[in-house]
Structure 1
Amino acid sequence: MLIRLCQHSFHIYDLLIFSGALTLIVYILLPHRFALRYDYIDRKHMEESLLAETTTNVSRTQLSADDCSYKEVIDGSSFVYDAFHREKIHRGEEIRLGGEYQPEECRARYSTAVIVPYRDRQEQLAAFLSYMHNYLRQQLIHYRIFVVEQSDRKPFNRAMLFNIGAKIAASYGYPCLILHDVDLMPLNSGQIYACSALPRHMSSALDSWRFHLPYRTLFGGVVAISTAQFNMINGMSNLYHGWGGEDDDFYERLKVVGVEICRFDPAYSEYTMLKHKHEIPNENRLSLLRSASLRIHKDGLNSLEYKELERRMHSLFTHILVET
């Protein structure tokens, strides 16, 4: 019996040694897949990294107002994903038709278009709109929420919907785009929804990843990028039908033009993911990724083809219904 126990112990020991060696090999070969530590902009430098740009109607209508101050918003960041902010919209009369808001007591320094690709997520969309309007109005920014809905039953094309939303937001004069999944909610009030000098990965501390970043080149979920930078890289690829690959393709485009990404302090970048059914995977995503850098100038905003079926101004969002 003792001999068997000893043999069993040696067997477990061998497995542990093998497992540790395998982990070390993977780490050496794929170091980018481990990002427990990564560079970020700390709290005291966050505001100075933001791009102070607004639509023309903000600067024209509030010429006599003082600029809003964002120091208190950042320094006073707190957990706000509670029942009070989630369950209903407070002071809904402040929100303009189309889901637009700007503070009246001061002149906003940032104008942001929040673009949400959507299909068949009605419960999540309702939760998103209630919470985000309560959340964003605390930040004293000028914003508008655009929901771009894919009407057809083709595989969901998230990147194409972002392109459509970016094109329409630009026509309204928005200098900053927040590309936002409908199932992600920011937890802390100090994550300013404005663009920074470098494109910013906002949801780098997600609860489903135990608030760690899975790999350093991840650039999806919630992303802030200026309209000018989005145009410079020809937007996102239109070829990713189904789940997966489009965010990595997006990152490759930025690499091609030599643009780095940034993140804020992890304490400001915490998000929660709502439960949802997973989309059908894109079987071609790996082969598409291999040619990502070659397609930047011919696949994107300049090759975008879609049919806009309806544009409606709802009380909480601008609804763009499209056929891809």
Structure 2
Amino acid sequence: MRQANKKKILYCGIVVITLIILLHPDMNARRTYEYIEKENILNNLLEEIAENFSSTALIDCDYEDVIHDETTLSISLVDGDLIEGHKIREGGEYAPSDCKPKYSTAIIVPYRDRAEQLRGFLVYMHTFFHRQHIHYRIFVIEQVDSRPFNRAKLLNIGAVAAMKAGYPCLVLHDVDLLPLKPANLYACTERPRHMSSSINKFRFVLPYLNLFGGAIAIGSRQYKEINGMSNDYYGWGGEDDDLYSRLEAHNLKLCRFEPDTSRYHMFTHRPERKTEPRHKVLSFSKDRMSSDGLNSLKYTEVATVLHPLFTHIMVDL
């Protein structure tokens, strides 16, 4: 009897170990992928400034020091405050005063019910951006209704607002992600860029090559070309794969920076309700992308408030 129990325990142990190995994030993950070498980054960036933006600086900003910055920022910055004299304009807009920036970027953050995380994100990101010599503005798009969270639709709304403000580059950014390397320049490349390819949650390994979510940079013209993201994904999951399929359909190949430059810290949070039925919605994504996106976007704008650190757009979907 004891021998039988020992065999049963041994068998269960083998099953558990096998499952751990099979389900581990490293399985089927990509430790290496094609990326833009540091010496080629500046040649791949799109030099474009927002409409109606002008600088009185006499010299252009130098970005060689940014992309070769080996610093890793501390996550503890989220618990602090911005230094005095940060010179951030109303609505969360900033541009360096000592040099003329070559890049204008709108950071678009879909949001609901994470006030403390948002506060830390804003403090951290403004500190981060001050090291990059770019002109930027942070847009936070909050869903105020009680329906399941629709991340993609909020990103579409933010993209429309940013494009109306004249921003040529969009960074679609989750609030629970923080870039660790200032060398990860928040500017658009000629091809859409997956910025967060090395996340601590996945042990800084890319889970799969077609992943295109978390933090991405895409030119406004390209975002219009693919008709933005689908508006149909209520709940968590599927919208990033749908976005990738739109890039494929328009022959837009994504790019990345090297893994060390692309490191992010992801905060843990309560999981969102999954999209239902997300696989069915995703299977028809290419068939409806021309009619589902920016050109079918409908929502009610509840209010827009220019806070000291961000532009807050509240919407009912």
- Fold shared per TM-score above 0.5: yes
Work out the CA distance in 2 between the residues paired with 1:229 and 1:323. Answer: 27
Contact 1:194 1:224 in 2 (8 A): yes
Which one of the candidate residues 103, 109, 121 is aligned to 1:128? 121
Work out the CA distance in 2 between the residues paired with 1:51 and 1:293. Answer: 28
- Please report how far the alpha carbon of residue 169 of structure 1 lies from its aligned counterpart in structure 2 after TM superposition: 0.3
Residue number in structure 2 paired with 1:34 = 29
Work out the CA distance in 2 between the residues paired with 1:37 and 1:312. Answer: 43
Closer, same or farther: CA 159–92 of 1 in aligned 2, 3 Å: farther
Which one of the candidate residues 275, 280, 283 is aligned to 1:282? 275
CA-atom RMSD, angstroms?
2.4
Runs ≥4 residues deviating over 2 A: 81-86
Letter in 2 for 1:258: N
- Please report how far the alpha carbon of residue 91 of structure 1 lies from its aligned counterpart in structure 2 after TM superposition: 3.3
| Correspondences of 1:201-216 after superposition (within 5 Å) | 201-216=194-209
| Correspondences of 1:1-324 after superposition (within 5 Å) | 33-58=28-53, 60-62=54-56, 65-83=58-76, 87-324=80-317
Closer, same or farther: CA 299–38 of 1 in aligned 2, 3 Å: same
Q: Count how many residue pairs are aligned between Structure 1 and Structure 2.
A: 307
Residue number in structure 2 paired with 1:29 = none
Work out the CA distance in 1 between the residues paired with 2:44 and 2:219. Answer: 13
Residue by residue over 1:69-100, the C-alpha shift from the partner in whole angstroms, topping out at 9 and shown as x without a partner, is 00001112310125357511123540000000
Percent of aligned pairs with the same amino acid: 47
Closer, same or farther: CA 310–260 of 1 in aligned 2, 3 Å: same
Contact 2:77 2:123 in 1 (8 A): no
TM-score under structure 2 length normalisation: 0.91
Name the structure with the higher helix share. 1
Paired residue secondary structure (1:166): helix
Work out the CA distance in 2 between the residues paired with 1:243 and 1:252. Answer: 18
Name which of structure 1's ranges 77-86 and 162-171 shifts more when overlaid on structure 2. Answer: 77-86
Letter in 2 for 1:154: R
Contact 2:96 2:133 in 1 (8 A): yes
TM-score under structure 1 length normalisation: 0.89
